[in-house]
Structure 1
Amino acid sequence: MTTTRLNLFFLWVLLHNCSLLTAQTTSSFELNTNDLFYAEVYDNIFRGHFEHVDIAPESSDFTSIFHLYLNTFGKQCPSYLPQDKVKIMKKVCAEERVESNAYGMELSRTCIRWEWVWTGLYAKPDLYAAKVDLENRMREKSLELLHDMIMDDNKMGNTVDMAHKAKGLALDMATFFTQNACNGKAVLRFEENMKRYALGQESIRIKEVSKYTLAKETGGPTGTQDFTKLLDDLIEDQAKTWMMNKYIGGSITNVKEHAKDANGKPLEISANYKYSGWGNGNGAVRVTFENGLPKCIYFADFPQNCKKPNATILATYAKGNYTE
């Protein structure tokens, strides 16, 4: 082989390998959020599309995500922490004041002295600093948040909703690092943008739109849909966060479509279902739609509380996978 041909051969190999490397980088540079409770939030933070993140930085939802993410990384990915890692601290009550009546019966218990203790976990210093900054800002709003809770006309429903969100987040973090590598580029980008979102800084944007955003923009499919299957999937997903009862899969009955929009897409459907646990085992659900996609799930026990449908199910529905 002549020198010229040899050089051309090596050039071809180099270009071929570069193209493969680019393809691998593109395919691996995706955050896997499938079936996660906060999938849409994670994906839009990862992409730097902060305008599509529907929870504010100074909200209990985002603060909880940031807090539990750092704790989970510290537990599941400790070998990927830097040399200058910092201790994750928590505030605990060091001294209580207990008030009792004349008979020695406890009437109240109040913490009068707090102290910070180490959780046994470490975090990346920049992320931990951002979390502390965020929590300090949240602390300044504590009286405002307390006032809102006191004045809330739907205290019970919203309290249950908070418990469901907490369980959904815990389930997310249980699988987040099995779906995504601790030191993967996607996780590193997610962390950087999560920090920037917390601090109100400009994001690092990825050009491609989230599949969840695209589904909303495209809207739901036309034609006859298998609402029984859709409701079964939506409720089964919601039931993962239930505290007491357990949904009986495949128990959807009495499905009704109450209204359609000008394009023939549903506006509202309802149905009955079965569950085991507390109560009589009979449940009712109502789902409202926007642009042909499920927007809110309302269960009969808390009819004012809009439960957000699973974003992965919505994206699947938008593709027409429930069309009969």
Structure 2
Amino acid sequence: MKNTYLKNSVLIMIVMFLGSFNCPVEQHPISFIKSGDSIELNTDGLYCAEFFDYVFRGHFENIDMTREDNEFLSIFGQYLRAFGRRCPNALPADKVEIMENVCVKERVTTNGYGVETDRTCVQWKTVGTGIYARPELYGAYLTVLDIQNRDALRTTIEIMTDPNAMGNTVDIAHKAKGLATDMSLIFNLNACNSPSIGRLEENLRLFALDKPAVQMKERSKYEKMKNSGGPNGEQDFERLIDELVDDQAKTWAFNRYVPKSVSSVKKYTNTMGRPTELVANYRYNGFKTNSTGTVRIIFENGIPKCIYFFDFPNNCKTPNASMLASYAKGEYSK
């Protein structure tokens, strides 16, 4: 029964996520002040900091997703809505309304005892959201949406047959929560009508259309961090683990991390003495109980790459990029 509900929930989520729109919008570049490398996009503390910084700088080669990925569509769509809500006065006169599909008729299946076993939408309707966007950006979004709609069946089958479907579904929920936090912060960090936001949007459009970026010469601090090889000397790994887990816990649905509860830290190194893996215990509160969890952090080139929690040991959680940049600069040195 639980597996049936899980599969149905995933399927419904995908159908809603990949709902189609037939609203062609003519494509034009976004006008913004071309200030060379003199402008900066503030991404500090964002869950998707690396992605936004790479897009802003036009270094598409560093982005670990493609325009065909659901994650990109989610980021793009949430950005459009956030800008429309937070920055309505920065939109042009020819702004267009963002549309969405809503279910207007469901088919509910019950068993012989009257218990619901399945719920499926059988009729959808396209309605306006009351939120507006730049026509050229929304047009690029619809292009990506159309690509994903045409591949929706394959995507659905892959998710439904994935042996780690539960873990990946939870991971999607975590990323959605992290992205929602980003959308509440990014326009606090950067003014709506700033040149940096203008460049970010133009490169978002170009990435969505699979076109060359408006590229900056200066490399991203996140790229430099990954190529640094990590800091030298002794590091306060207990503090690093505590802060990385605390950051991840912001996206947890039920459990609540107990700050500064990391203990029993084990460090594994390579022949050069560089860390390759950290394992530690931590405490969390969940369902009125205080329990112990285990976390593994895998390193690549001296920098944390994946965080694995005991309850979903096969799901790689991406560490906070801003924290990794601080770690690479030696800010966790003892």
The normalised TM-score by structure 1 is 0.88
* Corresponding position of 2:99: 89
The alignment partner of 2:100 has SS state of: strand
Matches within 5 A, 1:245-264: 245-257=255-267, 259-264=268-273
Q: Retained in 2: the 8 A contact 1:28–1:185?
A: no
Higher helix share: 1
1:174 corresponds to which of 168, 184, 192: 184
Mapped to 2, the partners of 1:64 and 1:179 lie a distance apart of 21
Return closer, same or farther for 1:247/1:28 CA change in 2, 3 Å cut-off.
Answer: farther
Mapped to 2, the partners of 1:100 and 1:154 lie a distance apart of 27
The alignment partner of 1:322 has SS state of: coil
Matches within 5 A, 1:292-303: 292-303=302-313
Matched AA of 1:246: R
Q: Does 1:63 align with 2:73?
A: yes
* Corresponding position of 2:278: 269
Q: Retained in 1: the 8 A contact 2:37–2:217?
A: no
Paired residues in the alignment total 299
* Corresponding position of 1:42: 52
* Corresponding position of 2:137: 127
Matches within 5 A, 1:84-123: 84-99=94-109, 108-123=118-133
Mapped to 2, the partners of 1:154 and 1:78 lie a distance apart of 41
Residue 247 of structure 1: CA displacement? 0.8
Mapped to 2, the partners of 1:30 and 1:246 lie a distance apart of 35
Task: Give runs of ≥4 in structure 1 deviating > 4 Å.
Answer: 25-28, 98-108
The alignment partner of 1:42 has SS state of: helix
Q: Deviations along 1:200-239, whole A, 9 cap, x unmatched?
A: 0110000000000000111201211100110011001101
Consecutive unaligned residues of structure 2, counting only runs of 5 or more, are: 1-34
Query: CA RMSD for the aligned pairs?
Result: 1.7
* Corresponding position of 1:289: 299
2:323 corresponds to which of 299, 313, 320: 313
Mapped to 2, the partners of 1:72 and 1:175 lie a distance apart of 10
Matched AA of 1:242: W
Q: Does 1:141 align with 2:151?
A: yes
Q: Retained in 1: the 8 A contact 2:36–2:216?
A: no
Matches within 5 A, 1:190-269: 190-257=200-267, 259-269=268-278
The normalised TM-score by structure 2 is 0.86
The alignment partner of 2:40 has SS state of: coil
Return closer, same or farther for 1:103/1:223 CA change in 2, 3 Å cut-off.
Answer: closer
Return closer, same or farther for 1:159/1:211 CA change in 2, 3 Å cut-off.
Answer: same
The alignment partner of 1:29 has SS state of: coil
Percent identity reads 51
Moved more, 50-59 or 277-286: 277-286
Q: Retained in 2: the 8 A contact 1:222–1:264?
A: no
Mapped to 2, the partners of 1:292 and 1:65 lie a distance apart of 29
* Corresponding position of 2:168: 158
1:52 corresponds to which of 20, 42, 62: 62
Residue 109 of structure 1: CA displacement? 3.8
Q: Retained in 1: the 8 A contact 2:43–2:53?
A: yes
Return closer, same or farther for 1:83/1:266 CA change in 2, 3 Å cut-off.
Answer: same
The alignment partner of 1:294 has SS state of: strand
Q: Retained in 1: the 8 A contact 2:283–2:290?
A: no
The alignment partner of 1:33 has SS state of: coil
Q: Retained in 2: the 8 A contact 1:226–1:322?
A: yes
Q: Retained in 2: the 8 A contact 1:221–1:265?
A: no
Return closer, same or farther for 1:106/1:284 CA change in 2, 3 Å cut-off.
Answer: closer
The alignment partner of 1:306 has SS state of: strand
Q: Retained in 1: the 8 A contact 2:45–2:322?
A: yes
Mapped to 1, the partners of 2:79 and 2:301 lie a distance apart of 33
Return closer, same or farther for 1:100/1:248 CA change in 2, 3 Å cut-off.
Answer: closer
Residue 261 of structure 1: CA displacement? 2.0
The alignment partner of 2:156 has SS state of: helix
